[in-house]
């Protein structure tokens, strides 16, 4: 026998034996092919039936999510539970299916992380039923996790997203939206802001708001909703302190901003904005607290920029206060026109059902009546002229045009269009947009508007003039025909 060959063979054998011994020693679990049922349903319940989830971690720390009349809380602390995490539990588990059954009878579940190092989860349901399981390690490919329902000797793998979040920090289970509310329920905003500024808005109708301070004027519904929304969506970046005795370390004893949102059906919500987080760059963070909750958060404070604005930026620019689809009558009158003097006159239009008609009840072809109603009802102010002592400088003492609108409920508005105002320049397109002075007949404020509404009135008058001409020509032809028939 070749001694060298023998020695080589022996060496290989030794290596193989050592490798097998190592594998046996480590006993790393290998995810086996499914025994029979690849897609066995582990849990099957309706999401709304879950009322409690108890998570027990390896260190003995317990986290309990429990449903209350006004939402879910963390039972150990009383803090509001994260809606997204509660929904995640429900969504991931309500119809959880095993990807594979790894082993039918596990002699040592600890090899799969299902011993003392596992996370135990108990689910309680509205009918009193309780189900529970242990979540273990990720499988070798790290795309699934080992899981073992209590009372079941088998071990399964499930999708990673079904159980991986149970090891997150406890703060991840707390609700981070700390100032949430339904904006539709709010009826007042009162804000004390940096540099002694004060902003106060009051709802005066279902879709209308009024500024009380720093001065009185109508406020855009969209702007009011935006201010409310910016507070309602505030999200904690960090939980700083729970039930602190002293707020001064975070500048909340003398906050730089205090915003109170009042409601008709619940107690007001008051948000305090304290000191900025030192060393923070962009986006900036500040310490915040909702009065009565006694929790200090850090959150992004750019929303204050929306409150610290020129009051004119919040003004209601849609000053006609009409829904264009509600307009059923339009009487447009052009009193004077330097561009087209022959167009001077009036055009009455009426909507019957979905059809706009002329003065004689005949349908109007095209979209001009609809466009005129839309432009006049929803005309927006581009600028405001406050304190006008006289209408003459704006050509509104003797308007260039008037447009009377009547809605299906009898509401009437009259829009006055005056002289030309300074054009607005579109720098990118290198052109100018002509504008006019305008006002609502029953409001003192003078506005600057796009002249588009006047252009549509011109279109309506031109179309009416063509109809009048055609009607006159038809009448002449009819008279001649009658004469010829009578002579014959």
Report pLDDT for 242.
92
Per-residue pLDDT of 394-426, as tens digits, reads 999 999 999 999 999 999 999 999 999 999 887
- Asked if 408 and 464 touch (Cβ cutoff 8 Å), the reply is no
What is the Cα–Cα distance from 68 to 75, expressed in whole angstroms? 10
Q: What are phi and psi of 98, to 5 degrees?
A: -70, 140
pLDDT band at 173 (very low <50, low <70, confident <90, very high): very high
At 98 the three-state DSSP class reads coil
- Chain centroid to CA 127: 36
**In the chain, where are the structural domains located?**
47-173, 183-314, 324-472
- Asked if 463 and 364 touch (Cβ cutoff 8 Å), the reply is yes
Q: Is the model's pTM score more than 0.95?
A: no
Domain 47-173 annotated CATH 1.10.150: no
Retrieve residue 74's tokens.
Answer: 């963390």
Per-residue pLDDT of 349-393, as tens digits, reads 999 999 999 999 999 999 999 999 999 999 999 999 877 889 999
Per-residue pLDDT of 213-224, as tens digits, reads 999 988 999 999
Specify the pairing of strand 238-242 against strand 295-300: antiparallel
- Reply yes or no on whether the pLDDT at 477 is more than 60: yes
Cis peptide before 283 (omega within 30 of 0): yes
Query: Could you report how far apart the first and last alpha carbons of the chain are, in Å?
Result: 141
Q: By percentage, how much of the chain surpasses pLDDT 90?
A: 73
- Asked if 149 and 42 touch (Cβ cutoff 8 Å), the reply is yes
Of 62-76, 233-247, 375-389, 451-465, the range with the lowest mean pLDDT is 375-389
């Amino acid at each position: 026998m070749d001694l060298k060959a023998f020695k080589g063979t022996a060496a290989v054998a030794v290596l193989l034996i050592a490798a097998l011994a190592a594998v046996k020693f480590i006993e790393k679990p290998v995810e086996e092919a499914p025994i029979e049922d690849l897609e066995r349903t582990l849990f099957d319940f309706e999401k709304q039936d879950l009322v409690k989830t108890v998570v027990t971690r390896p260190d003995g720390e317990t986290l309990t999510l429990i449903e209350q009349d006004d939402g879910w809380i963390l039972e150990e602390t009383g803090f509001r539970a994260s809606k997204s995490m509660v929904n995640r539990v429900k969504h991931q588990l309500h119809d959880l299916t095993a990807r594979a059954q790894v082993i039918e009878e596990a002699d040592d579940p600890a090899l799969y992380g299902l011993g003392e190092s596992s996370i135990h989860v108990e689910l309680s349901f509205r009918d009193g039923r309780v189900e529970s399981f242990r979540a273990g390690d990720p499988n070798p490919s790290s795309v699934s996790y080992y899981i073992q329902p209590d009372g079941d000797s088998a071990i399964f793998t499930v999708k990673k997203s079904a159980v991986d979040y149970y090891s997150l920090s406890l703060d991840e289970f707390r609700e981070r939206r700390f100032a949430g509310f339904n904006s539709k329920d709010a009826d007042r905003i009162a804000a004390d802001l940096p540099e002694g500024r004060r902003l106060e808005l009051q709802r005066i109708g279902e879709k209308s708001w009024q500024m009380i301070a720093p001065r009185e004027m109508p406020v855009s519904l969209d702007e009011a909703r935006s201010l409310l929304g910016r507070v309602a969506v505030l999200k904690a970046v960090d939980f700083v302190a729970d039930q602190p005795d002293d707020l001064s370390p975070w500048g909340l004893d003398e906050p730089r901003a205090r915003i109170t949102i009042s409601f008709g059906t619940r107690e007001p919500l008051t948000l305090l904005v304290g000191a900025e987080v030192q060393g923070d760059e962009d986006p900036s963070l500040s310490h915040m607290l909702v009065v009565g909750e006694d929790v200090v958060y850090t959150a992004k404070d750019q929303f204050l920029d929306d409150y610290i604005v020129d009051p004119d930026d919040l003004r209601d620019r849609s000053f006609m206060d009409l829904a264009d689809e509600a307009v059923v009558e339009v009487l447009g009158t052009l009193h004077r026109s330097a561009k087209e003097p022959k167009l001077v006159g009036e055009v009455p239009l009426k909507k019957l059902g979905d059809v706009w008609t002329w003065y004689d009840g005949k349908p109007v072809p095209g979209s001009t009546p609809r466009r005129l109603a839309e432009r006049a009802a929803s005309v927006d102010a581009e600028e405001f002229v406050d304190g006008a002592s006289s209408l003459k400088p704006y050509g509104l003492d003797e308007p260039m045009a008037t447009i009377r609108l009547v809605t299906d409920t009898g509401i009437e508005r009259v829009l006055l269009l005056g002289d030309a105002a300074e054009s607005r320049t579109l720098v990118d397109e290198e052109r100018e947009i002509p504008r006019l002075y305008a006002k609502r007949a029953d409001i003192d404020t003078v506005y600057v508007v796009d002249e588009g509404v006047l252009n549509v009135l011109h279109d309506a008058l031109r179309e009416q003039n063509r109809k009048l001409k055609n009607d006159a020509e038809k009448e002449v032809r009819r008279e001649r025909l009658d004469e010829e028939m009578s002579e014959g």
